[in-house]
Amino acid sequence: MITNGTGTIIVDRELNLVEVQENYLDFCLRGKRNSFIDCVKPEDRYLLSDMIALFEKEEKASLCFRLLKKNGEYGWVMAFCHKNTYSSSFNIKISLRDVSSFETEDKEEELDFSTGLLTKKAIIDYARKRCESEDNIVNLCILDIDNFKNINDTRGHSFGDQVLKDVAGIIKTVLADGGRAGRIGGDELMLVIDKAIDRTQLRSYLKPIREKIEALYHDMNGLPLVTVSVGAATFPTYTKSYESLFNLADRMLYRAKNRGKNRYVMYNPDIHGKVVDGILDENFKTIQDAAPQDKMKLVLGTIDGFFSSNMELSVGEVLTNVVATYNLDEAYIYYGNLKKSFLGYMRVESSALADKKGVTRVIEADLEATYLTELSVEDKFNSNGVLVIDSPEKQLNSSREGLSFFNRRNIKHAFIYKMTHLGKDSFVVLYNTRELSRKFSQPDITDFTYLAKMIEVALKSR
C-alpha cells in the first residue's frame, strides 16, 4: 500500500513519468517506458486524457481510477492533480491515495466499486452532516440516467455497466474538490456540491456534467445515446433539514424527467411553488408583479441579462416582462414536449394596489399545444421559424385541432416561434385572449422574434 495512503508523481502531457517518489513504487509498477498511463486500467484511461484536456483551462482536478498494483491486480486510487505552474514545460503533479486508506472521523468511507463513487450510506451520511449547520451551503443534486433500463435491455448489461463508470468518471472530474458524489440506486446518483453559493455557480457544475455525458455515445444518426436528468435544491436557502432538501431535489428531478429529460432543474420558489413545513406545495401558485418596461431597453437588455458574466436573468423573468411590456395574456415555452409547457405565465385580474403601482399581475401556468404537430400548421411558418395568427378562423381552417384549441381558449392573436436548434417540439408561444385585443404590430413581431431567439440561445447554452 502507498505509505500513509499517499504517493506522488509528476507526469508530462503524454502521461510519462517525469519524477517518482519511492512510496509510489512501493504500491505499483513503473510501467513500460516509464509510462504512467500503462499502469491505468484500459477502461479508465480516458479519464486521464480528459484531465489533460481540462488543464488547458484549469489548474487542478481530482478523479478516481484503477491502477495496476505490484501484485498484478488493479486497485482503486483517488488522484489529486495540480498543474505545475512553476515549470516552463507542461507537467502535472499527481498525489495518489489508495481508497482503502480514506478515513473520516475514525470511520472508513465506503466506495461503490462499480463506479468509484461513495456508497449510498456514505454519501447520505456526508449530506446529513453538512446539513447539521446552517453555516454550510449544501447543493444536493439527484442525477438519473435517462432510459437506463432500455440501455441495458437493448445493448446489454456490460454496456450499461460501462455507462455507469463513464458517467461517474465525468462527475468526479467536473466536481473535482467542489463536492462529493455517491450511488444511491441502480442508475441514480447523488451529488453534494459544497462550493456553489448561488444558481450561477451551481449551473457551472451541472451544465458541463450534462453536456459531457450527452457527448459520450451517439447512435448511427449522430443522436446521443446516453443523457441524464438532474434535480437540485439548496440548504439552508430553501429547506432546513436533510430530509426536506432531498425531497425537494427529488421533486425537481421529477420535473426534469417530465419536461423531456436531458436537462437539470434547479429549485426556484417563484417557478416551482413554496416549501411549507418542509414540503413543496406544488398547488401553490405565486402571483408575481411584472412592471412594463421600455420596449427597446427590454429587447437590448435581454442578451446582457442572459449572457454577461455578472448578471443572471432567468427565462421566467423574460417571459413575465414580455407579458407586462407588450400587454399579453399568456406566454409559454415548450421544450421537446408539447403535452406540457416547459414554462408558462398567465395574466390574472389586477388589483387596486397593482394598478396604483403600475404593474401587471401574472401567475405560473401550464398548457399543452399538441396542435402544433399538425402538418397544416407546420407549413405556415416563415423562413425565420415564425407564425403569426391574427385570424384563427381563416388561418386555421384546415387545422381541426388548432382551430378547436383556439376557440376553446378564446385566443384572438398568437405569435409562435419554432426553436429549431433545440430539437423537435420546442416553441415560444405568445397569446392574446381578450375580445378588444389588437393584432400584433410589425415592430412588436420583430421584438418577439428577437426575444424568442435569445430564449432559444439561452436554453441551448444552459
Calculate mean pLDDT across residues 273-281: 64
> Residues 111-126: what's their mean pLDDT?
89
Range 336-358 average pLDDT = 83
Q: What topology is assigned to 3-101 in CATH?
A: Beta-Lactamase (3.30.450)
Instruction: Please check the confidence at residue 296 and state whether its pLDDT lies above 90.
Output: no
| Per-residue model confidence (pLDDT) at position 261 | 82
What pTM did the predictor assign? 0.52
Query: HSE (CB half, 13 Å, CA atoms) of 29?
Result: 19
Q: Are 320 and 243 in contact (CB under 8 A)?
A: no
> Residue 271's pLDDT band (boundaries 50, 70, 90)?
low
- Give the per-residue pLDDT at 236: 94
Assigned superfamily of 288-461: Transcription factor LuxR-like, autoinducer-binding domain (3.30.450.80)
* Other CB atoms within 10 Å distance of the CB of residue 104: 11
117 is written with which cell numbers?
A: 463513487
pLDDT of residue 98: 73
- Domain span(s) for CATH 3.30.70.270 in the chain: 103-280
- Please list the residue range(s) of the chain that carry CATH number 3.30.450.80: 288-461
Cis peptide bond prior to 236, omega within 30° of 0: yes
- Give the per-residue pLDDT at 94: 87
* Cell numbers standing for residue 238: 430553501
Q: Comparing 393 with 100, which gets the higher pLDDT?
A: 393
Beta strands 264-266 and 228-235 are parallel
CA distance linking residue 6 with residue 10, whole number of Å: 14
CATH of 103-280, one of 3.30.70.270, 3.30.70.20, 3.40.50.9100, 3.40.50.150: 3.30.70.270
What Rg value do the Cα atoms of the chain yield, rounded?
26
pLDDT at 137: 94
Of 137, 176, 123, 459, nearest to 318 by C-alpha is: 459
pLDDT at 103 (0 to 100): 42
Asked if the model's pLDDT at residue 100 lies above 70, the reply is no
Q: Tell me the C-alpha distance between 63 and 441, whole Å.
A: 56
- pLDDT attached to residue 107: 44
pLDDT value of residue 87: 61
Higher pLDDT, 214 or 284: 214
Higher-confidence position of 388 and 70: 388
Most confident option among 124-128, 156-160, 398-402: 124-128
pLDDT band at residue 318 under the 50/70/90 scheme: confident
| 96: amino acid identity, one letter | L
pLDDT at 6: 53
